[in-house]
Amino acid sequence: MFSLKSIFTVTLTLFAVVDVIGSLPVIISVKRKVPHFNPLLATLASGALMIFFLYAGETFLSFMGVDVRSFALAGSILLFVLALEMILGIHLFRNNAEDARSGNYVPVAFPLIAGSGTLTTILSLRSVYNSFEILIGILINLLIVFVVLKATDWIEDKLGNTALAAIKKFFGVILLAIAIKIFSTYIKF
């Protein structure tokens, strides 16, 4: 059984965490440096990672000796820091796009689209929503990601740097709220 409201909530949550709009400056930079950037390949690679984590993430973490609670807490702290970067315009993490052999996989598919924040969120969502609802949310987000990746040049021309910065800050606040929610759900005093 699934709920359209749940699918909508999952989709919006993942949209805020994936933050493909907020990642546009990095994606545009990668596209300029990678002559054969393929939006479909980047989308499929990130989708495979997200779907793997949806169905086998807990088993994988268990194999690595990490429980979901610890992974979720670590991910919420990472999301918190990423949100602060987006809101305050500071850079704590360095993107090594120029060092990547293939921009289709690194840094676009991982960690920009399917990073630890996204993977943590997928695992966290499993405690509230069923796998089918999350899968539909992932697929909707992958469609959005693909459209945005295909349209980066057009988006850059139409929005300009000021609008992109405002959108990034807005989604930074959403991401900050999600980080606090995940942290408060898994923390035990």
DSSP code per residue over 36-100 = T--HHHHHHHHHHHHHHHHHHHHHHHHHTT--HHHHHHHHHHHHHHHHHHHHH----SPP-GGG-
Residue 63 is predicted with a pLDDT of 94
- Lowest mean pLDDT of 15-29, 95-109, 129-143, 146-160, name the range: 95-109
pLDDT > 70: percent of the chain: 90
Q: Which of 96-110, 111-125, 151-165 is the least confident region? A: 96-110
Q: Average per-residue pLDDT in the chain?
A: 83
Task: Tell me what pLDDT residue 169 has.
Answer: 83
pLDDT of residue 100: 46
Share of the chain above pLDDT 90, in %: 33
**Is a pLDDT exceeding 80 seen at residue 164?**
no
Residue 97's pLDDT is what? 45
Distance between CA atoms of residues 189 and 166, nearest Å: 36
Q: Which of 29-33, 57-61, 176-180 is least confident?
A: 29-33
- 32 within 8 A of 184, measured Cβ to Cβ: no
Terminal-to-terminal C-alpha distance of the chain: 35
pLDDT at residue 81 in the model: 80
Mean pLDDT of 50-58: 95
Q: pLDDT digit string (tens) for 87-99?
A: 887 766 554 544 4
pLDDT of 34: 77
Question: Can you tell me the distance from the alpha carbon of 29 to that of 99, in angstroms, rounded to the nearest whole number?
Answer: 12
Using a cut of 0.85, tell me whether the model's pTM lies above it.
no
Confirm if 131 and 57 have CB atoms less than 8 A apart.
no
Q: Confidence band (pLDDT; 50, 70, 90) for 55?
A: very high
